Amino acid sequence: MKPSRRSRSLKRVAKRTPGGRLVFHFRKKRPGYAKCAICKRELHGLPRGRSSEVRRLPRSRRRVSRPYGGYLCSSCMRAEIKRLVRESLSGTAETARPQAGGEG
């Protein structure tokens, strides 16, 4: 085996030749699934490939077309948007309220 092929970053695949010998072919390992940044669940609708392979895909195939697509799962995305809306509403309600002891 060549020293460059002794790396554990390469996956060994046993192949039988037509002559009956068993030889090893070396393939790059398949990367893991993309995970949600909050709950760490697997993200659906994303390709499971090496970054060089994924880069060749069109953008519509690379990520899900919704806010935070490819970064958050759908349930965490919903919760995050609701949290942002609640924060913005509570912030505007506080600024609209008249100050006590202001102009008199």
Q: What pLDDT score was predicted for residue 94?
A: 60
Q: How far is residue 48 from each of residues 6, 30, 42, 63, 102, measured CA to CA in Å?
A: 25, 8, 11, 11, 60
Helical (H) or strand (E) element with 12: strand 10-16
pLDDT at position 103:
55
* pLDDT attached to residue 72: 92
Q: Are strands 10-16 and 22-28 parallel, antiparallel or unpaired?
A: antiparallel
pTM of the predicted model over 0.75:
no
List the chain pLDDT tens, one digit each, 104 residues: 788 888 888 889 999 999 999 999 998 888 888 899 999 999 988 888 888 888 898 888 888 888 988 899 999 999 999 999 999 888 765 655 555 555 54
For the beta carbon of residue 83, count every other beta carbon within 10 angstroms. Answer: 10
Q: Estimate to the nearest angstrom the gap between the alpha carbon of 104 and the chain centroid.
A: 56
